[in-house]
Amino acid sequence: MALMAGIAAAGPIVIKFSHVVAENTPKGLAANKFRDLVKERMGDKVVVEVYPSSQLFDDDKVLEAMMLGDVQMAAPSLSKFDRYTKSLQLFDLPFLFQDMGAVDRFQQSKEGQELLNSMRKKGFIGLGYIHNGLKQLSSSKPMRVPADAAGMKFRIMASNVLAAQFNAMKAIPLKKPFSEVFILLQTRAIDGQENTWSNIYSQKYFEVQPYITESNHGVLDYMVVTSTEFWNDLPDDIRTELKQILDEAIAYGNAIALEKDTEDKQKIIDSKRTQIITLTPEERTQWVEVMKPVWKQFEEEIGKDLIDAAYKANQAH
Ligand code: SIN
């Protein structure tokens, strides 16, 4: 507390918020909204600096940087916490959530909220979830059934569940940071990747990937995290106000996530740079059958009760 009083006397508290996506994405817009609302309401006390597009740190470095106090907030995808907790691997299980409504219901449930605290012992606090959307598969060759992916190299986020998912397809998964994906695709060093419409559009993957299979096989969502030490050291009134503003900014980003998903998909279609492959129910069943055994592989690490709770969220109230 004495330290904080010193910081306040010396000037505003600075929060560096680092992320990897473009500004015109649900996460980019939520982070900017947070910065703007803090400026409007807490101007002389707190300043938020947003660093988009991996300008400050890539996702494979940002959590270490947070531990060192070089960055105070980030919102990595839920797939990128593998090293800190096994519970969040839940979100990578293929075909777990039918739609983003189910993802949201689960995140707001008791179990979903508890997951925000799953890394406390490792020094991180989850402050909320930001949505992006369901993932599609882009590639250099058309893929209608999982056998079409055999032998192809796919970039994945640093998640063992995602590695297992591509191994199940007899494809070759390569863990690479987000900032390298475009160039890897462009130079054909890899054959494909999985991502949301928003990222496929804003990162221009559709310009270098001639095919996108609309698989909706997994979810890409984020957890806003801060370091336990930084958060707990904040004066109580500042912490409370920041949390309220962050909740508002997250609600803003989440309200436009679905809209952006549809809008960016349409822009990709309109570009005519890539062919979108729509699966028949029979083809989709093949993807489910090949990928779903991954659940069993990770059931012990993640916890069956947690998987059941998440699956239940598919039933709308
Ligand atoms: C992100 O949306 O933050 C990045 C996702 C990825 O690494 O593919």
The pLDDT value recorded for residue 208 is 98
Classify residue 121 as exposed, middle or buried by CB count within 10 Å of its CB (0-12, 13-18, 19+): exposed
For residues 11-36, average pLDDT: 97
Residue 314 located in a structural domain: no
- Give 133 Cα–ligand 1 centroid separation in angstroms: 11
Residue 167 has pLDDT above 60, yes or no: yes
For 135-165, the pLDDT digits (tens) are 999 999 999 999 999 999 999 999 999 999 9
55: CATH: 3.40.190.170
Least confident of 11-15, 58-62, 112-116, 209-213: 58-62
Closest residue by Cα to residue 122 from 228, 23, 33, 203: 228
**In this model, does residue 6 exceed pLDDT 50?**
no
Distance CA(268)–CA(206), nearest Å, equals 7
Assess contact for 159 and 122: CB atoms under 8 A.
no
Query: Between the CA of residue 49 and those of 12, 36, 69, what are the distances in Å?
Result: 12, 10, 14
pLDDT of 5? 42
Q: What is the pLDDT of residue 183?
A: 98
pLDDT at residue 192 greater than cutoff 50: yes
Which structural domain range is residue 190 located in? 2-305
pLDDT above 60: residue 7: no
Atom 6 of ligand 1: nearest residue by CA position: 178
List alpha helices for 140-235, DSSP H. 160-168, 181-186, 197-202, 228-233
- Taking the CA atoms of 261, 263, 269 and 273 in sequence, report the sign of the dihedral they define: negative
Predicted confidence (pLDDT) at residue 179 exceeds the cutoff of 50:
yes
- 17, 51, 59: residue to mutate for ligand 1 pocket, most atoms within 8 A of CB: 59
pTM: 0.95
How far apart are the C-alpha atoms of 197 and 304, rounded to whole Å? 30
Residue 302 C-alpha to ligand 1 middle, in angstroms?
22
Residue in 20, 202, 209, 264 to alter for ligand 1 test, most ligand atoms within 8 A of Cβ: 20
pLDDT of residue 86: 96
Q: Could you tell me the CA-to-CA distances from 124 to 62, 72, 135, 195 in Å, in that order?
A: 12, 10, 26, 26
Residue 310 lies in a domain: no
b/e map 261-297, b = 16+ CB within 10 Å: beebbeebeeeeebeebebeeebbeebeebbbebbeb
- Over the stretch 228-247, which tens digit does the pLDDT of each residue have? 999 999 999 999 999 999 99
Average pLDDT value for the chain? 95
Choose the residue to mutate in 131, 159, 195, 260 for probing ligand 1, maximizing ligand atoms within 8 Å of C-beta.
195
Distance CA 262, CA 247 (A): 24
- Count of structural domains within the chain: 1
Domain membership flag for residue 194: yes
Distance 21 CA to ligand 1 centre (A): 7
Nearest residue (by CA) to ligand 1, atom 8, is: 178
First to last CA, the chain: 44
**Degrees to nearest 5, angle at CA 90 with 85 and 96:** 170
> What does each C-alpha distance from 236 to 61, 149, 305 come to in angstroms?
29, 52, 35
Residue nearest to atom 4 of ligand 1 (CA): 178
The candidate with the shortest Cα–Cα distance to 219, out of 114, 88, 72, is 88
Amino acid (one-letter) located at 43:
G
Ligand 1 center–CA 99 separation, angstroms:
19
- Averaged pLDDT for residues 242-264: 96
Return the pLDDT at 8.
Answer: 47
pLDDT value at residue 160: 97
Q: Domain for residue 227, yes or no?
A: yes
How far, in Å, is the centroid of ligand 1 from the Cα of 308?
26
Using pLDDT thresholds of 50, 70 and 90, give the confidence band for residue 75: very high
Smallest CA separation from ligand 1 atom 7, residue: 178
Q: What is the pLDDT of residue 291?
A: 98
Q: How far is the CA of 131 from the centre of ligand 1 (A)?
A: 12
Looking at residue 2, its pLDDT comes to 42
**CA-to-CA separations, 252 to 33, 124, 259, in angstroms, rounded:** 8, 24, 12
144 falls within a domain = yes
Give pLDDT, residue 138: 98
Q: How many whole angstroms from 20 Cα to the centroid of ligand 1?
A: 7
- Ligand 1 atom having least distance to the Cα of 19: 3
233: exposed, middle or buried (C-beta count within 10 Å: 0-12, 13-18, 19+)?
Answer: middle
- The percentage of the chain sitting over the pLDDT mark of 70, rounded to a whole number, equals 97
pLDDT at residue 125, as a whole number: 98
pLDDT band for position 201 (cuts 50, 70, 90): very high
Given this model, what pLDDT does residue 317 score? Answer: 60
Whether 316 is in a domain gets the answer no
**How does residue 316 score in pLDDT terms, banded at 50, 70 and 90?**
confident
Helices (H), 207-312: 228-233, 236-271, 281-291, 294-302, 304-312
- Helix segments in 45-171, DSSP class H: 62-67, 100-108, 110-114, 160-168
Give the pocket of ligand 1 (CB within 6 Å): 20-21, 77, 132, 157, 178, 195, 199, 220
Residue 312 domain-assigned (yes or no): no
Give the confidence band of 59 by pLDDT, cuts at 50, 70, 90: confident
Per-residue pLDDT for 261 more than 70? yes
Radius of gyration of the chain from its Cα atoms, rounded to whole angstroms: 20
